[in-house]
Structure 1
Amino acid sequence: MHIGLILLALAYVLSQFFRAFLAVLAKILEQDIGASPDDLAFASGLWFVAFAAAQIPIGAALDSIGPRRTAAGLLLIGGGGGAAVFAMATSPLHIAIAMTLIGVGCAPVLMASYYIFAREYPPMRFALLASVMVGVGSLGNLVASYPMALSAELLGWRTSLWGLGGLSTLVALSIYLWVRDPAKVEGETKGSLAELFKLRALWFIFPLMGVNYALPGAVRGLWIGPYLTDVFGADTSAVGLASLLMGTAMISGTLFYGFADRLFPSRKWMLAGGAMVTCLATFTVILLPAHSLVLAVGLICAIGFFGSGYAVIMAHGRSFLPPHLIGRGVTMLNLFSIGGVGILQFASGRVYHHYAGTGDTVLPYMMVFVLLGACLVAGLLVYLFSSDRAA
């Protein structure tokens, strides 16, 4: 099982990479195939929407055929195939198609790991294991920053994507060979989505799940590049370095939340406090839009650190799930998380496009931050009525 989890972690590195690498390619793709920031926002949004939409069938597949075939099959077709389509792209439409395929391919990877954690390990260890998996996988976020920018400059973005497609294919085949499905529980009943939504405790967790990762995910995955370039005149290397710093902050935050979950008496108020700090950093960006590049990067890193409570929110929701609903439950929580990113990517692209017409360089980005910050505030207000549970 340990080899299988290592391979799933490597696959999750790829998943994190693919959701974030567009930010450092923004300028190159605009020059080569005419892809504007709102084109890339649309393509990035499609990645998240496809990823989210796949969660419902993936949840059923995890409960029925297990994580091995579910993860290997989709990563092979969607990850390997989508990267190949991206490498051959000649228009923004091709980028959108490629990102949709890649989103489907990456969709089962983390949930396959969580399913194994939930079925094979004690509930009290779920938050820590989930956070470590996200932290390790977030190395892909780092590779999607400065190293990807360097690779694009030295090898070309098409060659880089062909290499990523080959790596995705190899990892998918390895998962099929080495991952082992957890044993079924004798006499276990078959769950359904209707039964899942009867768990009222989840209703107050879903909204925060839907917006908490959306803010740092949208900034790191797309807006950090255009924002720093247009407002501060940052070049590709500077954007890559800033993305690397934010990615490092997100990994550190993920691990912090995972270990802090064992120490804080209240999971709910730890998460609420982190969301409040994220809101504060976001609205500081809005109030000081072009003060200095160093301050902007520092605030973005704060958003990345304190907005990385995803795995512990997942653990909060998982604590209310009976064994026969684990597959559907964790994937539904993930649907809200990734779906929220996708929806807000679309919305942020439209907001940017609307205000870009004013001729103001700074205003479009500030309105994007207003949108993302306001949604986080709304999700946090609902979450404050949730039930606390530490196990």
Structure 2
Amino acid sequence: MSETSAVPVAPPRIKRAQQIALTLLMISGVVNYLDRGTLAVANASIRADLGLSLSQMGVLLSAFSWSYALCQLPIGALADRIGPRRLLGLGLIVWSLAQAAGGLVSTFGWFILARIALGIGEAPQFPSAARVVGNWFPLRARGTPTGIFNSASPLGTALAPLLLSILVVSFHWRWAFIATGAVGLAVAVVWFILYRDPVRAQLSADECRYLDADAQEVVTQSNVTFADWRSLFQHGTTWGMLIGFFGSVYLNWVYLTWLPGYLTAERHMTLMRTGVAASVPFFCGFLGALSAGWLSDLVARKSRSTVIARRNAVVICMLGMVVFTIPGALAQSNIVALACISVVIFLANAASACSWALATAAAPQSRIASLGAIQNFGGFIGGALAPVLTGVIAQKWSFVPALLTAAVIAFVGAMAYLLLVNKPIPEHEPGAANVPLPA
């Protein structure tokens, strides 16, 4: 098949598996981000109830991201090795129990432990989703499904202020944590019942040809070794994606964790008004992820290099994030500020969707989740630092220098993608040792 040829039509059984997989990834992704966003929505109520300062809240907001980021490194290899069905299903159970526990804590220390457990449980979501797309979609058709599963993050974030503000105001902030934890456990049951990882031996010849379209090399099974995983760090592509996603996620997480608090503290909105205002930018982010996935597939099919096409899309989106963050921080009008923030979050989620699509193009077929998780590790080191530094800077000065700092960091990330991500990583490394990962 040529570089510019159309992707073949999926056989009926593959099509059904794709639809089930994407539906479940969307649902679990929305729940994932509802759980992450609960703390941000209930920010003011929790600070008042537990007597926390802005700096302490910044530490609490970042606790999730540290454990989430550190778990990315082993989680990616596990997703490649044991498959997303078992890994994501177990993750759903762990994170839902941790989320419910957040509604029962009474001290700052116990709350931090609950958020750390939440980060561990949620770590498999996106590496597993990347592995699902790599398993069920051919190379040049992975942008659209990647955009779909990525769109769950802004959709969940957009729904969080609308749904959870009602629970916080009408009942208590604790019920927001308990209710979303219960929903996650129900989703875990549905995931185990409906989703299956593909078994190549059970696929027909037509189904295998469809999945292998445009593949540089066909991999019938994924038995990732430690040497295979470690060898990814020998490539500039890996480092460019790791550093670049740091910048992208840092800026995105400033808004994700602090937007409701920013609107109430800096722009003096009420909690109910903040719930509506904070949801609008993330609905824009939902549209950004969906449109970016489709457009990146269109460009990739017409490009000589899928990696370069998807990389350029990431860079353009990130530079747009930088440009619109500056007037968003400086504008006196709340309407102008929200409009700029909406554009930034549209582009941030477009960049995220394109970054995960880039991982499926740049990685060897056997290590898609591994490379995606390494990129995500870099991103969520940025995600862990963002709420802490934002809280410290906002407390000492204001939110304006905090937002401008985030814009500079995102610009550096864009340059890392542009300068270091230039070609795909080969499947086989000459002379690599065959040291298996622990079972």
Equivalent position of 1:335 in the other structure: 377
Alignment partner for residue 97 of structure 1, among 113, 116, 123?
113
Equivalent position of 2:41 in the other structure: 24
Instruction: Work out whether residues 89 and 188 of structure 2, in 8 Å CA contact, stay in contact via their aligned partners in 1.
Output: yes
Give the aligned residue type for 2:234.
K
Share of identical aligned residues, percent?
A: 20
* Pair 1:213-2:249 in alignment: yes
Q: More deviation in 136-145 or 232-241?
A: 136-145
Equivalent position of 2:210 in the other structure: none
Output aligned runs, 1:142-161, within 5 Å. 142-161=158-177
* Pair 1:375-2:409 in alignment: yes
In the TM superposition, what whole-angstrom CA distance separates every residue of 1:247-277 from its partner, at most 9, and x where no partner exists?
1111111112112213445433332222222
Question: Residues 317 and 63 (structure 1 numbering): CA distance in 2 closer, same or farther, change over 3 Å?
Answer: closer
How far does residue 388 in structure 1 lie from its aligned partner after superposition? Answer: 5.2
How far does residue 222 in structure 1 lie from its aligned partner after superposition? Answer: 2.1
Distance (Å, rounded) in 1 between the aligned partners of 2:222 and 2:264:
55
Equivalent position of 2:432 in the other structure: none
How far does residue 341 in structure 1 lie from its aligned partner after superposition? Answer: 0.9
In the TM superposition, what whole-angstrom CA distance separates every residue of 1:174-218 from its partner, at most 9, and x where no partner exists?
322332123365465534332111232232232221111221222
Instruction: Work out whether residues 322 and 407 of structure 2, in 8 Å CA contact, stay in contact via their aligned partners in 1.
Output: yes
Q: More deviation in 241-250 or 165-174?
A: 165-174
How far does residue 95 in structure 1 lie from its aligned partner after superposition? Answer: 2.4
Equivalent position of 1:250 in the other structure: 285
Output aligned runs, 1:1-391, within 5 Å. 1=17, 2-77=19-94, 79-183=95-199, 185-186=219-220, 190-191=224-225, 192-219=228-255, 221-264=256-299, 266-288=309-331, 291-308=332-349, 309-353=351-395, 355=396, 363-387=397-421
Distance (Å, rounded) in 1 between the aligned partners of 2:274 and 2:297:
35
Give the aligned residue type for 1:130.
T
How far does residue 343 in structure 1 lie from its aligned partner after superposition? Answer: 2.2
How far does residue 351 in structure 1 lie from its aligned partner after superposition? Answer: 2.5
Question: Residues 66 and 32 (structure 1 numbering): CA distance in 2 closer, same or farther, change over 3 Å?
Answer: same
For this pair of structures, how many residues does the alignment match? 378
- The 3-state SS of whatever aligns with 2:245 is helix
Question: Residues 10 and 195 (structure 1 numbering): CA distance in 2 closer, same or farther, change over 3 Å?
Answer: same
How far does residue 328 in structure 1 lie from its aligned partner after superposition? Answer: 1.2
How far does residue 9 in structure 1 lie from its aligned partner after superposition? Answer: 2.3
How far does residue 225 in structure 1 lie from its aligned partner after superposition? Answer: 2.0
Distance (Å, rounded) in 2 between the aligned partners of 1:173 and 1:211:
36
Give the aligned residue type for 1:252.
L
Distance (Å, rounded) in 1 between the aligned partners of 2:47 and 2:221:
56
How far does residue 25 in structure 1 lie from its aligned partner after superposition? Answer: 0.9
How high is the TM-score relative to the length of structure 2? 0.80
Distance (Å, rounded) in 1 between the aligned partners of 2:86 and 2:224:
19
- The 3-state SS of whatever aligns with 1:256 is helix
Question: Residues 306 and 63 (structure 1 numbering): CA distance in 2 closer, same or farther, change over 3 Å?
Answer: closer
Q: More deviation in 104-113 or 29-38?
A: 29-38
Distance (Å, rounded) in 2 between the aligned partners of 1:267 and 1:67:
24
Distance (Å, rounded) in 1 between the aligned partners of 2:312 and 2:171:
47
Distance (Å, rounded) in 2 between the aligned partners of 1:190 and 1:151:
45
- The 3-state SS of whatever aligns with 1:180 is coil
Instruction: Work out whether residues 98 and 118 of structure 2, in 8 Å CA contact, stay in contact via their aligned partners in 1.
Output: yes
How high is the TM-score relative to the length of structure 1? 0.90
- The 3-state SS of whatever aligns with 2:105 is coil
Distance (Å, rounded) in 1 between the aligned partners of 2:175 and 2:287:
31
Instruction: Work out whether residues 16 and 141 of structure 1, in 8 Å CA contact, stay in contact via their aligned partners in 2.
Output: yes
How far does residue 35 in structure 1 lie from its aligned partner after superposition? Answer: 2.9
Instruction: Work out whether residues 135 and 251 of structure 1, in 8 Å CA contact, stay in contact via their aligned partners in 2.
Output: yes
Q: More deviation in 50-59 or 5-14?
A: 5-14
**Coordinate RMSD, CA, aligned:** 2.1
- The 3-state SS of whatever aligns with 2:362 is coil
Distance (Å, rounded) in 2 between the aligned partners of 1:232 and 1:76:
38
Distance (Å, rounded) in 2 between the aligned partners of 1:131 and 1:325:
20
Consecutive unaligned residues in structure 2, runs of 5 or more: 1-16, 201-218, 304-308, 425-439
Question: Residues 187 and 95 (structure 1 numbering): CA distance in 2 closer, same or farther, change over 3 Å?
Answer: closer
Distance (Å, rounded) in 2 between the aligned partners of 1:262 and 1:130:
10
Give the aligned residue type for 1:149.
S
Equivalent position of 1:358 in the other structure: none
